[in-house]
């Protein structure tokens, strides 16, 4: 199925408007996820980026009522688009006029957010002409639930593995990337991207932010809008002093973007520069790859805490960035690449074993007992600040183990180099 995002009826069927990457619909069809009974089937879905209504243009050469029958395409499409899909093309074309002010009306009570600071306004959100702005709405506020219901088809189609959020849970917030276009009549508002953020409690008195969904519409990707949206979210986390910002199951592409942004933030964060210098100095002293015991080269706990408290970057993300920060500080990198690879190999091996760098942790372990099994356990602290792992399954074929480890290390190095190359280009703006 091909999807086409259009903002005017003149763009419908225009040769200048290209379809986005075809979308796999298998998960939306009942049974085995296949379409039966059609020859030469083509489905093009037009999506009105002004009102978020849609229309499916379905063509086929013929139908054959075989053993599997003929798939009900309309029902399958309604599973995706629900009430946003209209029956006829004429009805779809009418939405450009009848629903012209839908987005503007929906976000009128939202709060305008900025990358530098919030402006404090909570009503009558306005957008600077031609300059995309981010408007925040609590999911329980007027219009937010209705607006999100029209965004759900975009979530299902373009956000891998994502499901709609619970609009009855007031802890959800929408951050809507809005573009305003000046016209002879009233200005035209359209959504070019959005993210859904969940705030949840952390004992004893803090909140955490979890980014669950983020999307820049395909027609607007590659223009730096995704990076701007993340800058706004990062600033909100700092301004509102949450505990940290986490991301729920980020895609590989988004993780790359996120890491590039965080690396630039960390490179200008002076409190951790001595720690980076110390790590680099140790690494460049001598052949680590020849040593039996390689130092961990993980940041000190106080550096992790400073980054979390000041930048709201969570520990897991900071550890990923730390490897890249060291890589960027090695000069010339070719001279130290062997030792650096040994460090990354050690990190990857540790990741596989599920160990951590924090202080000793308590662990519950079942023990033989004459009492009820559910009541028989001991609690102990592991040594050396690492959690003992009693459930690690290791392949007994050592050559295979080493080959798998080598492949994982090569993949990690590749990711590190990609980010380092991106952020090293002076003055480059991330176009995502």
Phi, psi of 313 (to 5 degrees): -85, 120
Cβ–Cβ under 8 Å, residues 216 and 5: no
227 appears as a binding residue in the annotation: yes
Peptide bond into 332 cis (omega under 30): yes
Give residue for tokens 């049974």: 31
| Residue from 10, 182, 248, 338 carrying the catalytic annotation | 248
110 appears as a binding residue in the annotation: no
Q: Where are the alpha helices (DSSP H) in 240-376?
A: 252-267, 273-283, 301-311, 315-329, 333-353
Q: Smallest Cα–Cα separation from 193: which of 212, 179, 180, 209?
A: 179
Q: Give the pairing type, strands 111-113 and 85-86.
A: unpaired
Cβ–Cβ under 8 Å, residues 346 and 296: yes
Other Cβ atoms less than 10 A from the Cβ of 397: the count is 10
Q: Where are the alpha helices (DSSP H) in 48-166?
A: 73-81, 89-98, 102-106, 144-158
Cα gap 370→383, rounded to integer Å: 29
Cα gap 217→225, rounded to integer Å: 10
Cβ–Cβ under 8 Å, residues 58 and 43: yes
Other Cβ atoms less than 10 A from the Cβ of 211: the count is 20
Give residue for tokens 């012209």: 100
User: Is position 83 annotated as part of the catalytic site?
Assistant: no
Cα gap 355→349, rounded to integer Å: 9
Phi, psi of 238 (to 5 degrees): -75, -50
226 appears as a binding residue in the annotation: yes
Cβ–Cβ under 8 Å, residues 179 and 138: no
Q: Smallest Cα–Cα separation from 323: which of 414, 246, 429?
A: 414
Give residue for tokens 């009105």: 48
145 appears as a binding residue in the annotation: no
222 appears as a binding residue in the annotation: yes
Cα gap 256→246, rounded to integer Å: 15
37 appears as a binding residue in the annotation: no
Residues classed as catalytic: 248
Annotated binding site for acetyl-CoA: 221-227
Annotated binding site: 221-227
């Amino acid at each position: 199925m091909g999807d086409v995002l259009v903002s005017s009826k003149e763009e419908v069927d225009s040769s200048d408007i290209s379809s986005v990457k075809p979308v796999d619909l298998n998960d939306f069809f009942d049974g085995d996820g296949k379409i039966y009974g059609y020859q030469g089937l083509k489905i093009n879905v037009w999506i009105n980026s002004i009102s978020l209504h849609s229309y499916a243009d379905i063509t086929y050469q013929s139908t054959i009522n075989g053993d599997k029958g003929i798939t009900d395409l309309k029902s399958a499409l309604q599973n995706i688009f629900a009430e946003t899909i209209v029956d006829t093309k004429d009805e779809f074309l009418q939405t450009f006029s009848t629903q012209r002010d839908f987005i503007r009306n929906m976000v009128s009570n939202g709060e305008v957010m900025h990358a530098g600071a919030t402006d404090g306004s909570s009503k009558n959100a306005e957008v600077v002409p031609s300059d995309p702005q981010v408007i925040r709405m609590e999911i329980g506020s007027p219009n937010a639930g209705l607006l999100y219901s029209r965004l759900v088809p975009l979530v299902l189609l373009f956000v891998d593995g994502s499901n709609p959020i619970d609009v009855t849970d007031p802890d959800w917030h929408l951050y809507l990337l809005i573009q305003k276009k000046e016209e002879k009549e009233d200005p035209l508002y359209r959504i070019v991207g959005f993210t859904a953020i969940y705030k949840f409690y952390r004992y004893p008195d803090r909140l955490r932010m979890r980014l669950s969904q983020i999307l820049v519409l395909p027609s607007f990707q590659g223009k730096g809008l995704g990076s701007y949206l993340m800058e706004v979210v990062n600033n909100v986390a700092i301004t509102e002093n949450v505990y940290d910002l986490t991301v729920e199951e980020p895609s590989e592409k988004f993780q790359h973007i996120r890491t590039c942004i965080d690396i630039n933030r960390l490179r200008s964060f002076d409190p951790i520069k001595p720690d980076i210098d110390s790590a680099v100095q140790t690494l460049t002293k001598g052949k680590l790859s020849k040593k039996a015991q390689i130092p961990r080269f993980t940041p000190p706990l106080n550096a992790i805490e400073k980054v979390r408290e000041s930048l709201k970057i969570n520990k897991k993300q900071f550890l990923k960035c730390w490897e890249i920060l060291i890589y960027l500080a090695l000069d010339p990198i070719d001279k130290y690449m062997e030792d650096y690879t040994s460090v990354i190999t050690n990190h990857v091996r540790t990741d596989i074993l599920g160990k951590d760098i924090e202080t000793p942790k308590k662990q519950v372990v079942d023990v033989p007992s004459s009492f009820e099994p559910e009541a028989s356990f001991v609690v102990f602290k592991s040594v050396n600040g690492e959690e003992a792992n009693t459930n690690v399954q290791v392949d007994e074929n050592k050559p295979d183990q080493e080959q798998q480890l080598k492949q994982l290390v090569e993949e990690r190095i590749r990711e590190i180099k990609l980010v380092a190359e991106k952020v090293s280009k002076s003055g480059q703006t991330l176009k995502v």
